Amino acid sequence: MSEVPILKETTRSTGREALRNNITAAMALAGAVRSTLGPLGQDKLLIDDEGRTMVTNDGVTVLESAKVEHPVANMLINASTTQDRIARDGTTSAVLLSAELLQNAWELVLQGVHPSAIARGYRHAEEACRNHFEHLVIKATDDHMLAAATTSLSGKIHQAMQHHLAALAVQAAKAVVEQRPSGPLADPTRVKILTQTGGSMTDSALVTGLVLAKKRVSDRMPKQLPSGKIALVDGGLERKELMSNVKLNVSSTGVLESFRQKEKTVLLEQINHLVDLGVTLLACKEGIDDDLHAALTEAGIQAYRRVSRADLDLLARGTNATLNNDVKGLTAADVGVFIKSSNERWNGVMHWIVETEEGGATFIAKGSTNEAVGEVERCFADALGVACQLLEEPALLPGGGATQIALARHLRRFAEGFAGREQLAVEAFADALEIIPRTLAQNAGLDPLDTLLQTVAKQTTDGSPNAHFIGLNVEKKQPANMVEDGVVEPLRITRQVLAGATEAALSVLRIDDVLWAKQDPTVPELPEED
């Protein structure tokens, strides 16, 4: 019986060939973002299909904007995206480390080490790094928090803006932090970001409270309100429309007028219900009937219509109000409390500012062009994420590659306890960690190998309890105490980099068979002729 080729429409690569191709894709992806790492990293010019341009130094932005078809490259991009979502920084480091782990694994495979042994060694190495963090970590103070936020912006924007945005990010994080039984919670999504084109980047500012580009439905309504109660409606105050299949036959003009008066009476009853609840501020997702503006003004209610659902959610969290689909369904428990509501005109646009008891802030991102505003917005979001992390977990590590060098030194001593080939994998993991200080040196115009050896020697021979603080200061172009120089980063970032990069590398190592299904070119079907 002749063999039938089951996979005749599939291109297949197996064993070392598959692993080599996958690692080549990973190294190519890492090469695309390598030059962005560090304060002296270079920018990337991104151009989309429509010719729109973006200049950025953010690794995850570069990767997510690229059109990548290789599945292994997409796995590394997903690891970078996860790093950005969880830690808000370290995205480039995660890609570089995962690619270097794969490159070192390939060299071991060529020496005859099985991928399973490499995977076990990598797992042991990651666990050893996690356990060693407690010997490297320092408790974060307010000054350290500002330094960490500034470090997260290194190379992404000019130095004056780094300090400005970092200070605003720390201020915003403190405005939204909540004390809970399980510990402090700082949710960066509670900080709203508004963008305005015009002016300088340094004009970007932080406003305590929620700011919306909205104007009250009537200029006769109070422009400012002291503390009071707020109602949030996931609907509107409008006349109900008849169903499309309903017809209304009017026999006389009096009947039609009565029908309209009844509709208005129903709407006025809703306003009276708001007055009974003591509501002085109203925000609706949909419209508010024009005939009700006067009634709302007489009731002393400041009303806003067509407020987005996202903004209503922010208002609900800040005021402890509950969204309701219908005004009549509102109860006293659904009504929230605000401190102050005011209206101000900025650059010809009216803005509504609400100060709430539960805190909240709005960042106004400004710049001379849309590209500049976008970069300010991305940088602030990164710094805000770092500041929020440190409020939740005030633990820091020295930057400038100091932590990676200290971990690599520890792993080389740790590897001596393995009698099998896992020892080689642990040493390979240690070598991979040093890709961070080597890349920092390369992007600063220094010799990567010589600079790494100088920094390792300085950390090894220092002899002080804080020897692990010594890393590469790219501004001074020499090894220095990173904590004293204010170059620090949250523990959560480095911990997530290790976890994400290791998991991505192991996922690729476990692949020994790649099947590419062949796809014939398709021709669109033509419409049938009548």
Q: Which amino acid is at 267?
A: L
Options 92, 150, 280, 297, the catalytic residue: 92
Tracing tokens 């403190």 back to the chain, one arrives at 174
Contact between 169 and 386 under an 8 Å Cβ cutoff? The reply is yes
Tokens of 225: 């309100």
Active site residue 91: yes
Active site residue 331: no
Residues 6+ apart with CB under 8 A from 288: 217, 236, 237, 238, 296, 303, 305
Options 58, 84, 89, 485, the catalytic residue: 58
Active site residue 382: yes
Contact between 21 and 35 under an 8 Å Cβ cutoff? The reply is no
Helices (H), 320-433: 370-392, 402-415, 422-433
Q: How far is CA 263 from the centre of its chain?
A: 47
Active site residue 92: yes
Options 61, 91, 403, 502, the catalytic residue: 91
Options 84, 311, 382, 485, the catalytic residue: 382
CA distance 239 to 201: 45
CA distance 108 to 411: 17
What 8-state DSSP symbol labels residue 324? B
Tokens of 505: 């590398």
- E strands, 236-360, are 279-284, 302-304, 336-346, 349-356
Helices (H) and strands (E) in the chain, counts: 16, 20
Beta bridge partners of 480: 471
What φ, ψ does residue 350 adopt, rounded to 5°?
Answer: -80, 135
Catalytic residues: 58, 91-92, 382
